[in-house]
Structure formats: C-alpha cells, structure tokens
Amino acid sequence: MNPLLSYSKGTSGGKQKWIPKTAEEGERRAFFSCLCDTVLNRSFQGLNDGKALLFVLINPDIHTPGGLVLRTGSESEIKNRKDRYPQFILCEDSNQSLYSQLLCGLVQRDAIVNVGTFFASGLLRIIKFFEEHWQEMSSNIRTGQMSAWITDPNCKRAVSLILSKQMPDLADSIDLICQEKSWEGIIKKIWPRTKYVMAIITGSMAQYIPALEFYTGGLPVVSPVYGSSEAFFGINMKPLCSPYDVSYTFIPNMAYYEFLPIDNHQDPTCTNRKDAHLKDHIVDLANVKIGQHYELLVTTFTGLYRYRMGDIVLVTGFHNSTPQFKFGQRTNVVLSIHTDKTTEQDLQKAVAMAIQILEPLGFFLLDYSSYADTSSIPGHYVLFWELQLRSNDDIPELDQVKMEKCCSLVEQSLDQKYKLLRNQSISTIGPLEIRVVKQGTFNVLMDFYVSQGTSLNQYKTPKNIKSEKAIEILDSRVVGKFYSREVPNQDS
C-alpha cells in the first residue's frame, strides 16, 4: 500500500517537510518515470541490450503515532516498484546495501549500459565507497565468496544469484584498473559498455560537475528530471546536452503550476513579500515569458494550494508549445550577518570563481559548505572546502598566498551589500575564512545527517550548517585555515 505521508529533509536548506500522498499520486509519478525512459531510449541506442546499474539506498520506514507510514518520495517509488524489479536490493543498512550493489555491478560489468543514482553528490559518495572497498570486492569475485560481514538476507540472496562461482580473470581485470594511481575515467573503465551516467547535476548539484566529469571519463552525464517530494515538474528532452545547458520541459500532469515573476535584478531573498500582494502578479504555465525568472508555486492533487517551492526557474524556450525552464536558484539565504543575505546561488558562483586559482595545480573541489561565525566581533563567513588532486595523491601543504587569494576572490564575487559591510570603517563583517578539511570529511558529514533521518538518495550537502555537532565534525578535520587579506573592491 502507498504511504499516506512522504517526508523530505527538504533541499539544501535542510528543513524537514511532511507531504500528503495518495495512491493516484504514485501512478502519476510512475507515468513521469516512463516518459523519461522513453526520452532516454530515443537518445541512446541499445539500452535494452544491457542492464542499468541504478544505485538506491533506503532508510527504515517511520510510523507516525497514528500509524501512518512516512517515507521519502524516492523510497516510496522504489518500494512500490520492487515487485516489478526483482533485482532491486532493498536493505536498510547502507554499507551492506552499497557493497552488494557494487559487487553485483562488478560481476556483471560487461552487461551494464548505464550507471546512475538520484543526485550527483550521491554518485561521488558511491565512487569514494568503491575506492575504499574495491580490493575486498575483487577478492570476493576471485573466490566466489561474499564477505562475512554481509549478513542482511536480502543482500545475501541478491548477491548469491550473481556471484555463484570463482572468477579470477574478472578479479584480475578489476585489480588492473583500480590499481591505477589516478581514478580519472574510472566509471568508463570499469563499465566499458556504459553509454551514459545518470544523476541530477543542475541547480545546487552543478558544483559537482567537474568532479563527476573527472570520474566519468567523458561519458554524457544525463540530468533526467526536475522533481520534488511535492510533485514532479519537468523532464530533460535533450539528455545529451551539456550539464551546463540543461532545460526541463514542464509536464503538467502532477500539479497545477503557477509562476511568480521575479525581477531579473531583484534580490531573490525578497520573495518573503506579503502573499496578499503576490497573487496579483502570478501567471500560469501558458503565460510565462522567455528570459523571465519565476518562483514556482504548486497546487497539487494531494492538497497543497499555491505552495511556494522556494525554487527559481528561468524560462529558456519551448518544446512545441510547452515552456522549458532552466533550474535557476533557490531563494534560501545560506549566509547572513547583519543585513547581508547571501543566497546559495551567489555563494556557489563565488566558490566556482575562486577555485579556478587552484585548478591549474591539479585540484578540484569535491564538496563545500559554510556557516556564519558570530562567536567573535565582527562575525565572518567560514567556508569548509574538501579538495582533491586529479592524480589522487595526498593533498600537499597548500600555498598560503594562493589560498588567501581564493578567500579574497570569494569576497570579490559576492554582492555589493556584502562588500559595503566589509568596507565600512568599523567593519560589520570580518575577513572571509576558508577552512580546508581532510579527505573523506564530507562523507562523515553525510553519515551524520543520515543518522539524523535524512534519506541518502535525496541528500544534498547543507550549504548553511546550523547544527553544532555538524560544525564540530567539520572543525575536527580542518587541516588549514586561511583568511582574506584584501578588502573587496566595491567598484567591481
């Protein structure tokens, strides 16, 4: 039976939501998924001649005091579809589950034609897990015996169907690939028939594009849908386009969509204007205009009325006469001190600019987060960066001058309000700080949030860390602290 409530830790803002659901709603979602598959089949030949390796992770169901089942949207879909897909591995222990899924994917490496998961951040996490466990997996394949710590009956059953004999040749070929020092293009090397990698890579996930491109070795990365726990919105009709150019075509079968125009120069954080005045400006799907930004409102079959998603979309064109949108930005403020409000999008742009200083040295940014440190006066913004070298070498001692330049460039890329507050004679905001954390830190952070009830499938690294425990996790792994040495120039 379908659960009647779905929950989500929300977006990178991290606010938990409970959303009503019905059985019909589940069917509409299923229709959406079929539509996506149709588009993919049209773009890639031969998908039916192989298998998809789709990594899914589930949490235990939660029961409300009244007895309703609470599940995340992705979990509902998976659990409802499990009868149609007997090869699904449903196990609530994420380590055993991921290990078993990877092991099955390795044994069948020549059959796999596409690899994917829900969000790009999740796929990077899976690659890291593989990096930590490939030797053990290869030894399992060599001996035909699964590791003893895999005790979950679902995992054991699924793996034993696939790993039924010793396969030393396969183990040798996996060893050869994984022993290479750099893991550049590892997905293509391990699964040579893969035609594409599937993961959402737009919006806040765009920060992971360079890291994902590194591991996929030039395979197309397909960002198939734009959806949420509230409703699905659109599908990507051009799966082969660059991750930077993805537009979604709205499919109006799940909700009634309305759009609140946002002045292209307007501070998106001003969307907290009084609702009474807003309704005069709302337009429906048929009346949106190309080049205009809108905040998305949904009225759903399950009872939400003009619900503000908090997502900003930009109209980019039409597919036939259906509007297409680029995922714009989120209205959520991630950093705030005094009157400054820095949005997730502003921060992401600033970080993308600053990391260019380190790219020629072979670094890419695996993940980042931030918080406003107001424990001293004036308060200042702190960014946590996890860096990785393309060569896979350990991170060397970082060049102080270059790191300070990164701090200044982040500041320089933030908006005028920030620069003004930094420039005041008695400055209201202190120099921005970057704390570089050791490798694996953001995985530990993810584990922490998952232990607090976040679904691994829908996990998005919070960009505004509020939890003291989470800050403690990051702080205890800091390997270098750097501060901006320049006051940002207000004229640029």
Backbone angles phi, psi at 88, to 5 degrees: -60, 135
**Alpha-carbon gap, residue 478 to 439, rounded angstroms:** 10
Bridge-partner residues for 7, per DSSP?
18
Residue (of 221, 427, 244, 464) closest to 346 by Cα position: 464
Smallest separation, CB 12 to ligand AMP (Å): 7
Residue (of 119, 153, 27) closest to 81 by Cα position: 27
Which residue number, 214 or 226, has a Cβ lying nearer to ligand AMP?
226
Residue 368 as a binder of ligand AMP (CB under 6 A): the answer is no
Contact segment (CB under 6 A) with ligand AMP among 196-204, 257-265, 362-370, 472-480 equals: 196-204
Smallest separation, CB 456 to ligand AMP (Å): 12
Beta pairing class for 433-437 and 478-483: antiparallel
Task: Give per-residue burial for 88-115: e unless 16+ CB within 10 Å, then b.
Answer: bbbbebbebbbbbbbbbbbbbbeebbbb
Residue 229 as a binder of ligand AMP (CB under 6 A): the answer is yes
Residue 332 as a binder of ligand AMP (CB under 6 A): the answer is no
Say if residues 193 and 113 touch (Cβ distance below 8 Å): yes
Contact segment (CB under 6 A) with ligand AMP among 57-65, 164-172, 226-234, 359-367 equals: 226-234
**Alpha-carbon gap, residue 270 to 263, rounded angstroms:** 10
Residue 461 as a binder of ligand AMP (CB under 6 A): the answer is no
Among 140, 300, 388, 458, binds ligand AMP (CB under 6 A): 458
Among 11, 300, 342, 461, binds ligand AMP (CB under 6 A): 11
Which residue number, 61 or 475, has a Cβ lying nearer to ligand AMP?
61
Which residue number, 107 or 221, has a Cβ lying nearer to ligand AMP?
221
**Alpha-carbon gap, residue 472 to 41, rounded angstroms:** 46
Among 115, 163, 309, 403, binds ligand AMP (CB under 6 A): 309
**Widest CA span of the chain, in angstroms?**
73
Smallest separation, CB 236 to ligand AMP (Å): 8
Contact segment (CB under 6 A) with ligand AMP among 3-11, 109-117, 372-380, 424-432 equals: 3-11
Binding residues for ligand AMP, rule CB under 6 A, total 19
Say if residues 231 and 9 touch (Cβ distance below 8 Å): no
Among 223, 300, 369, 412, binds ligand AMP (CB under 6 A): 223
**266 secondary structure, DSSP code:** S
Residue 311 as a binder of ligand AMP (CB under 6 A): the answer is yes
Interface ranges with ligand AMP (CB under 6 A) = 8, 10-11, 73, 200, 202-203, 205, 223, 225-229, 309, 311, 327, 330, 458
